[in-house]
Amino acid sequence: MEKRRLGRTGHESTLAIFGAAALWEASPQQAEAALELARSYGVNHIDVAPSYGQAESLIGPWLSRHRSEVFLGCKTMERSEEAAWKELHASLERLRTDRFDLYQLHAIRTMDELDEATRKGGALPAILRARAEGLVRYIGITGHGYQAPAVHAAAIERLDFDTVLTPLNFIQWAEPGFRIAFERLLDLAQQRDVGVMLIKTVTRGPWGERPQTHTTWYQPFDQPEEISRCVRFALSQPVTAFATPGDLSLLPLALEAAERFRPMTAEEQAQLVESASAYQPLFPPG
């Protein structure tokens, strides 16, 4: 699988990042099989969070045997210094490791949330302390929502974040306001050598009244050719990688799409974006 440099971290990340949200309701056997499948494709990057059910505890035994092989990213949704410090240490214990390669402020969707997490006494000072003590190497920011690219652009303008994990898919890109904000985020990231990782890459839209057939909180594309187009579009932007979707049944399809990735031409991208009018964006304006 192709690898790309994750900004100033220097890590050569595989195009697919193992998205541990897929382990939310997994058994130990399912978790082991999923991690080994990702490993068989050469995946060298894991994204996990304490908010992903039992994912950290499920990954811990596997990680204790393969820690040197992966770049480990974790997150906190805590907003105070004390709570974030405690959560970081709890994650280290569950994951059976003594360090994170990347630790991120998680679910920063608005400027108010950014201000809360980065204030004196907020979560960011705890992460900075952890970095000073050798528990964390790099610091990032993540978040969902329509405002995510604008908020994340403001974050890397104001503070020295090493990475951004943010949502993008061709349907969302078709919304003009979102696209303008995202293009600005990409420009800033390139200027400041900030690594950009993507989530929600294979999103079809909200579930609405449709029966929920996957464990993702959004409706995903689930056919191989659809997933391939989604991945090709996303990775044809100046980004490093995408996190695989939060459903174990989609993991093989996402890994295969990353393995076979080839860039989309500008014409192919334009045609795909034009087709987005048939779908509802997960994050509408407003």
Q: Could you give the angle at the alpha carbon of 257 between the alpha carbons of 255 and 263, nearest 5°?
A: 135
Would you say 184 and 149 are in contact if contact means Cβ atoms under 8 Å apart?
yes
Q: How far apart are CA 249 and CA 103, in angstroms?
A: 27
Strands 219-220 and 16-19: unpaired
Q: How far apart are CA 59 and CA 32, in angstroms?
A: 8
What helix, strand, coil percent values describe the chain, rounded to 5? 50, 20, 35
Would you say 49 and 106 are in contact if contact means Cβ atoms under 8 Å apart?
yes
Strands 16-19 and 163-167: unpaired
pLDDT at 194: 98
Helices (H) and strands (E) in the chain, counts: 11, 12
Whole-number Cα distances in Å, 85 to 26, 104, 112, 113, 138? 27, 12, 21, 18, 16
**pTM score, two decimals?**
0.98
pLDDT per residue, tens digit, the chain (286 aa), is: 999 999 999 999 999 999 999 999 999 999 999 999 999 999 999 999 999 999 999 999 999 999 999 999 999 999 999 999 999 999 999 999 999 999 999 999 999 999 999 999 999 999 999 999 999 999 999 999 999 999 999 999 999 999 999 999 999 999 999 999 999 999 999 999 999 999 999 999 999 999 999 999 999 999 999 999 999 999 999 999 999 999 999 999 999 999 999 999 999 999 999 999 999 999 999 7
pLDDT at 227: 98
pLDDT at 286: 78
Q: How far apart are CA 66 and CA 257, in angstroms?
A: 24
134: left (phi over 0), alpha (psi -120 to 50) or beta: left
Q: How far is CA 189 from the centre of its chain?
A: 16
- Side-chain-side CA neighbours of 207 within 13 Å: the count stands at 10
Give 138's strand partners.
102
Amino acid at 235: L
Would you say 48 and 94 are in contact if contact means Cβ atoms under 8 Å apart?
no
The neighbour count for residue 178, using CB atoms within 10 Å, is 24
Would you say 19 and 47 are in contact if contact means Cβ atoms under 8 Å apart?
yes
